[in-house]
Each structure stands twice: as C-alpha cells, then as structure tokens.
Structure 1
Amino acid sequence: MTNVVRYLTHPQVNIDPSIPVPCWGLSEVGKARTEAVTTRGRLSGTTQVISSGERKAIETAEIIAAKLGVDIEVREAMHENDRSATGFLVPDEFEAVANQFFGQPHISIRGWERAVDAQLRIVDEVEQVLARNEPGDVLFVGHGGVGTLLYCHYSGLEIDRAHDQPAGGGCFFAFSSDGRRVLHAWRRLEEL
C-alpha cells in the first residue's frame, strides 16, 4: 500500500541567544501558521506524527496531532544538524557557515556535524519509521537543514543548499512510502 510521507519543517521561532537553540519555541507567527493548517483537513489521512525532540518541532507537531487526534512519537535523533560547537550565530555569520556546511558536506565546519553524517542520521530515522509499514500517511516534523539533506537523498541529488527550503521555514515536501518517489519539492506550509 502506498501512502504519502511528508516532511514538514517548523515555522518561525522566538530567537533568544541566551537559550540553547534546541530549546527555542515557536513564535506567535509560527503558531498561527501551524494552527491555520489544521483547519483545511488536507492531513486527514495522517495516522502517524513523528517529531524531532527539539521544542520548536514538538510544538509544531502537537498543534497538528491534536487536531488529527493522533499521538506524537518523538525521535531524538531527528534533531537538526549539531551546531553546538558554535552555539548561536548572528544571522549573517550563520548563513555563511550554513553555506559551507552544505558546500563541503564531508568536512566539519567550525565543529558542526558533517552534512554527510547528518544525512545518514535523518535518513536512518525516517527509514526506521517507514519500515513498520503502518497504514495511513506519515508526517515527520523537523528542521530545515536535515530536511534538505533528506530531500536530496530521496531526490537522488548531491548535497547542495540550492535544494534548501524557501526562507522562513514552515515548508514541506512529500514522497511515496512505496518506492520513496518524491511527489513534490518544497512547498509553503500554507499549501497543506
């Protein structure tokens, strides 16, 4: 049986340099964008909601799962690429380091997890869930960096930031559970 698998990135967050990035929560804009999705009914076939263990992903997943009446499964290894070596970086510096992360996937940039390792990790997490072969569509809720690595994997593309989600987060792509065929590239949350 073929089901739709969606990978959704959390939308806007409250940025606070005094708090570790994995502990950031959704902003009011991020919450409102997520809540708006739940009114459309386009996720009605979703029977599994799988979330990264980071707060912003869990908050996104909770809003959607509550409307669907399903439980959330938290998988800690679905976290964003490990950037703890640098912690918070101001936006311009972050973008420059992120470009290097995607541009040199076999090298640890400033102590960050290598892109090839983050890709293996996120693909393994997704494949473990899909191997259960449960009925219904699956929604994974996570992050832009590892989401892009996952998209590259299932699309058969080399790791490249050219395949990153549009700015602002809150985007998703979809693929089939049978054959892992990408159904569409990144779309805004509002298209769900």
Structure 2
Amino acid sequence: MRALYVTHPQVQIDANVPVPLWGLSQDGRLRAEAFAARCVVPDGAMIFSSSETKAMQLATILAEPIGATVVSTHTMGENDRSATGFLPPTQFEEMADRFFARPEVSAQGWERAIDAQARIVAAVQAALETVPAGVPAVFCGHGAVGTLLKCHVGRRAIARSEDQSRHAHRGGGNCFAFDLDAMKLGGEWAAMEDFAPGWFR
C-alpha cells in the first residue's frame, strides 16, 4: 500500500518547554498551510500522526481541507531524547551523529536507533492495517524516526547520510512516498515545496 511520510516543518524552540510540546513556528505553519493548499494530500486520505504537538499541528493543517480525522499515537513519536533534554544546536548535531553512527548503542541515554526503528515500523504497519484498499495514507511525524523508517523500507543501513537534512530542507517539512508491504521507496526526501500532487497514483 502506497503511503506518504511528512515531517513537521520549523518549530518554536523553547529550552524551558519539553521538546515533545514544542509547536510549529510561524514559518513552519505557513509552509504547512501552503503544502495543504497545493492538494498534495488527496480527498479521502487517512491521516496518522505522532502525538507530539508539532506533528499534530501539521496533521491538523493537512486534515482540515479534506475533512479528515487525525489518528494519533505516541508510538509514532520522535526518538526519545529525554535523558539529555534540550541541547544547543551544535551539541544536538553531535549527538544526532552518534545516534545514527552506532544504532545498537544508546548515546547518553537516548533511545537506541534500532529500537526507535522497530517502534516506528511497527506503528506504521499497524496503522496501515486499518486503511481500506485504495485509500491514501499520510503519516505526520519527525526527522529521525522518519529516516529510520526510510532506511527500513529502502533496505538501507541506518546512517546520518539518509537524514532529511542531507537531502532536502534543513528546517524539516520534508516527505517521501513509500510502500511498506513491497519494501519500496517512492524517492528520496523532498521538501514540501518540491513534492508534487499525484504521488498516490
């Protein structure tokens, strides 16, 4: 079954707020609204989302024009980084490099990449089992677990080189089409602005 994975665009960073509660920034919201207005998400699509605020806000923006209901679950959430909490950009990038470089090892208490991958793949598979044949499925989520899903579907080793920031918009708001049953990617990460309608056909 062909599906679409979309990461949330730019967020409002606040070191005093838990990361899962961060919302979209003004720029992120404008990008999401423009994406929704281009009708990339077809009528009748089922929309699934991580329960984190930024992903839910993206999912709601995509669902409203087509009257869809958003189904959310914490199992689609980003890799658990609560052990370190908020990190300044430079430190975060160093930790992300470690996360991808050694998938079977926890980086300072972060959820291991292999565990996060197993979790997101299982969550997406469970969601797809509820989607009727011929109905488009759209997943709203995050960069790291989205990359892990992409690596799984593409039968690729977990690597930072597969990350959205290496292929498309560094601020997030990227997507790729995939078929989990067929284990086939529809392409590499593409920015919202560059992803064309008609992906489900």
Same fold by TM-score greater than 0.5: yes
Determine if contact 2:153/2:179 at 8 Å carries over to the other structure. Answer: no
Q: 1:109 aligns with which of 107, 110, 128?
A: 107
Q: How many residues are paired up? A: 190
Q: 1:189 aligns with which of 187, 192, 197?
A: 192
Please give the root-mean-square deviation of Cα atoms over the aligned residues, in Å: 1.2
Question: TM-score of the superposition, structure 1-length normalised?
Answer: 0.95
Question: TM-score of the superposition, structure 2-length normalised?
Answer: 0.91
What's the counterpart of residue 125 of structure 2? 127
Q: Moved runs in structure 1, 4+ residues, more than 3 A? A: none
Deviates more, 1:180-189 or 1:86-95: 180-189
Q: Determine the C-alpha separation between the residues in 1 that align with 2:179 and 2:120.
A: 17
What's the counterpart of residue 51 of structure 2? 53
What's the counterpart of residue 153 of structure 2? 154
Determine if contact 1:46/1:139 at 8 Å carries over to the other structure. Answer: no
Q: Which runs of 5+ in 2 are unaligned?
A: 196-201
Paired-residue identity, % = 45
Shift of 1:178: 4.9
Determine if contact 1:170/1:189 at 8 Å carries over to the other structure. Answer: yes
Shift of 1:125: 0.1
Q: Determine the C-alpha separation between the residues in 2 that align with 1:57 and 1:169.
A: 11
Q: Secondary structure at the match of 2:164?
A: coil
Shift of 1:38: 1.5
Instruction: State yes or no: 1:169 paired with 2:172.
Output: yes
Instruction: State yes or no: 1:25 paired with 2:23.
Output: yes
Q: Kindly tell me: are residues 61 and 21 of structure 1, through their superposed partners in 2, closer, same or farther at Cα, counting changes over 3 Å?
A: same
Q: Which runs of 5+ in 1 are unaligned?
A: none
Code of the residue aligned with 1:171 in structure 2: it is: N
